[in-house]
Structure formats: structure tokens, C-alpha cells
Amino acid sequence: MKILSQNTAFGGMQGVFSHESEATKGGMTFAVFVPPQAITERRPVLWYLSGLTCTHANVMEKGEYRRMAAELGLIIVCPDTSPRGNDVPDELTNWKMGKGAGMYLNATETPWSDNYQMYSYVTEELPALVAEHFRVDMDRQGIFGHSMGGHGAMTIALKNPDRFKSCSAFAPIVNPLTADWTQDTFEKYLGPDRAKWREYDACALVEDGARFPEFLIDQGKADSFLETGLKPWLFEEAIKGTDIGLTLRIHERYDHSYYFISTFMDDHLKWHAERLG
């Protein structure tokens, strides 16, 4: 692991690091905020997954999480959204595919399958690296994210309920099987058999029996992607008749941007802190 930068913030440390990944077969960069409490004791860790076209830097620079994370004693880890490098397959004119659009799944189709193993990277390789180098309490993990990252957070939580104690999302893609901006991407990554897509779709996972205690979802009503790509009411419908709890908050005038995310970031951090102890 290489240190790319370290800066003091709110008594803690905001760092950016890189390493060679076996899962994605190349260099990966990620950010970690370490609160002051983690200087002497193990602290809960909260994984933040970013959205389409983003890197680790978007939330680090615009998410405004450090003050509250320092107060609550939360370690925040922000992975990249996809593999990187000159040899990694990409579609330069398609922002929904390739670099910046890893979808937090393990691709099975060529040429994507060699590098696009973001599910394994986020759930296995990166946690092992973070546990080795930081004072994290791996028995107290939460996960959240935005848009594509909200999709990733919810599906990962549903598939790993024994690992994560909390999950929330900002404007998540809850049903990629029907969203207009994910169907073409899923087919390229996973092939035409839609049955294989279901393990990376929050609504489908619930329909197929996956469970998680509760979710917090914040959604802007002025979000231009709301009606065709996000549709949080589909998840609300999917959990009916289950014991899954959902707090779904729809906010007038808010869009899909980090102005929206930063406005409600403190609420999410407090929500996770209550459940992580």
C-alpha cells in the first residue's frame, strides 16, 4: 500500500492510498478518513460507494463527512468505482459503461471479466487491506452509497447480512433490471440471461429471499433520473410482507448532485453510528 496523500482534518487524518489489486488486475486508489479516536482504539468502519463517473475523490472533496465522522468516531473508506489503467477495457463515449461504471458486480463476459471484479474487490480484497493497516473494528461495519453506489451498498448488504450492521443510500438504483441506464450495461457485463442479473438487483434479491434489518433512503424529488433510473418506490413495494424496515425520505427541490448528498450526510452518519454502537 502506497500513501498518496495525508492531511489532518477535525483532529483526524484524511488519506489517499493506492495498491496493486489481484481482483481487478491493476492499480487501485481509495480514500480513508481516520477519526481522532482511532489513534488509540479500534473504531467502526463505514464504506461509502460512489456513483457512475465518480472516483474516490468525489465524496472526499464534496461529501462533507469529516466533521461528523470525527465527532462520532467513524472510519470512512471510499473505494474507487471501477478498475483503472490503460489496459482496462472501456467505452470512451459511454459514461454508463467501463471506467467509472463498475456497478459493484463481478463481470462474467469478455472483455470485461478480466478486470471488472468490483464485488470481490469491495467485499473481500479491500476490507482485508484496510483491516491490516487501520484500527478498524470489523465486527462493526456499515455501508452506504450514492446512485450506482447506493445500488452497490444495498445489494452487498442484502448478500452479506451477517457482516454489515447498517445500510443506507442516497438516490440508489434499486431495480437495475428495469432502469433505463443499467440494462445495456448489465447485459455487457453479465450476458443476456437476466436470471444472472438478479443477484445484483436489490428488488430481485428481496424477491428471491434475501433479508436485511432496515434501510434508510434519501431521494431528491427534483432528481432528473428519478422516474426512469432510480424509482425507490419499487423497493418499497418489494419489501411489503417482509420484516425489512425502510425509512424512505423524498425531498422537494433536491437533485442528484453532491449538494443533495452533503445536505443529508450528517443524518446518514448519525443513523449508522446508532446501529454500529
Model confidence over 212-265: pLDDT tens digits?
999 999 999 999 999 999 999 999 999 999 999 999 999 999 999 999 999 999
* Strands of the sheet with 214-220, listed across from one edge: 2-9, 12-21, 26-34, 75-79, 43-49, 136-146, 164-170, 214-220, 245-251
Please report the pLDDT score of residue 167 as a whole number: 98
Question: Which residue segment(s) compose the domain that 205 sits in?
Answer: 2-276
pLDDT per residue as tens digits for the range 77-94: 999 999 999 999 999 999
The Cα–Cα gap between 150 and 136 comes to: 23
Of all residues in the chain, the percent with pLDDT exceeding 90 is 99
Q: Average pLDDT, stretch 61-81?
A: 98
> 173-210 burial, b for 16+ CB within 10 Å, e for fewer?
bbbbebbebbeebbebbbeeeeeebbbbbbbbbbeeeb
**What does the mean pLDDT of the chain come to?**
97
Task: Report which secondary-structure segment, H or E, holds 271.
Answer: helix 258-276
CATH of the domain at 114: 3.40.50.1820
Q: Average pLDDT, stretch 180-205?
A: 97
Please report the pLDDT score of residue 39 as a whole number: 86
Whether residue 181 is predicted with pLDDT greater than 90 in this model: the reply is no
Residues for the chain: how many in total?
A: 277
Rg of the chain on CA atoms, in Å: 17
Domain count of the fold of the chain: 1
Q: Which residues are known catalytic residues?
A: 147, 223, 256
Task: Report the sign of the C-alpha dihedral through residues 93, 99, 103, 107, in that order.
Answer: positive
Please report the pLDDT score of residue 20 as a whole number: 98
Whether residue 113 is predicted with pLDDT greater than 90 in this model: the reply is yes
Please report the pLDDT score of residue 155 as a whole number: 98
Please report the pLDDT score of residue 242 as a whole number: 98
pLDDT per residue as tens digits for the range 116-158: 999 999 999 999 999 999 999 999 999 999 999 999 999 999 9
